[in-house]
Amino acid sequence: MAELDNPNVMSNLITFLSSLIQKVAESNDLNCGFQAQKISVFHGLTRPTISIQSYLHRIYKYANCSPSCFIVAYVYLDRFAQRQPSLPINSFNVHRLLITSVMVAAKFMDDMYYNNAFYAKVGGISTTEMNFLEVDFLFGLGFHLNVNPKTFHTYYSYLQRQMMMLQPPPPSTAPESSIESTLKVHLCFSDEESTSHQKEQLAV
């Protein structure tokens, strides 16, 4: 994916990905009163003051990992949500899940990467907490870290299509539907069903 090396492409991708995850978190915030949810090490006592977009851009700016790590981190978040339905992504845990997923992706994907102490500083948490988050995230994934090229392309293509759907239409063309109806933020593909293009929920 040579286009991921383009800073403008990555900046737009990070912005879109953060808005997608934010909508998932907000949706799950509304559903928290209707669904049983357990507290985990990712759960903060209060909502962080920094926005998801600013936080993800901060990680992108300072983590210095390969651009592909953010696609892989998105795959990991989807797997985590599917394997841990009682731990949906919400406003209280999304920041810790983001920094952890990117760090784990960097360790798996990149030949060179920063240590946990560095990621802890980037994420605004202690090194001890970062260590605990990593262990819980790995167990939450069932240590299913491999992302084959087909799965990577499926997730990346999904993000590309959704981004294109949000682009303003030409003046002579009326939009087919509103942003709210086209931005299906709760959908993505599972590894097993990528061939048949069956969509799975990012967070329940």
More confident residue, 62 or 27: 62
Sorting pLDDT into bands at 50, 70 and 90, what band is 1?
low
pLDDT digit string, tens, across residues 126-167: 999 999 999 999 999 999 999 999 999 999 888 888 777 765
* Domain annotation covers residue 138: yes
Residue 107 lies in a domain: yes
Whichever domain contains 56, its CATH number is 1.10.472.10
Give a yes or no: residue 158 inside a domain.
yes
pTM for the predicted model, two decimal places = 0.76
Look at the chain and report how many structural domains it folds into.
1
Whether residue 185 lies inside any domain: the answer is no
More confident residue, 45 or 122: 122
- Answer yes or no: is 197 within a domain: no
- Average of pLDDT values for 178-199? 38
**pLDDT for residue 196:** 38
Mean pLDDT of the chain: 77
pLDDT category at 91 given cuts 50, 70, 90 is: confident
Q: Domain range for residue 129? A: 7-164
> Looking at the domain assignment, is residue 204 inside a domain?
no
Residue 173's pLDDT is what?
43
DSSP the chain: -GGGGSHHHHHHHHHHHHHHHHHHHHHHHHHTTTS-----TT--SS--SS-HHHHHHHHHHHH---THHHHHHHHHHHHHHHH-TTS---TTTHHHHHHHHHHHHHHHH-SS---HHHHHHHHTS-HHHHHHHHHHHHHHTTT-----HHHHHHHHHHHHHHHHHTSPPPTTS--SS-HHHH--TTEEE-TTTTTTT-EEES--
| Domain presence at residue 14 | yes
In a domain, 178, yes or no: no
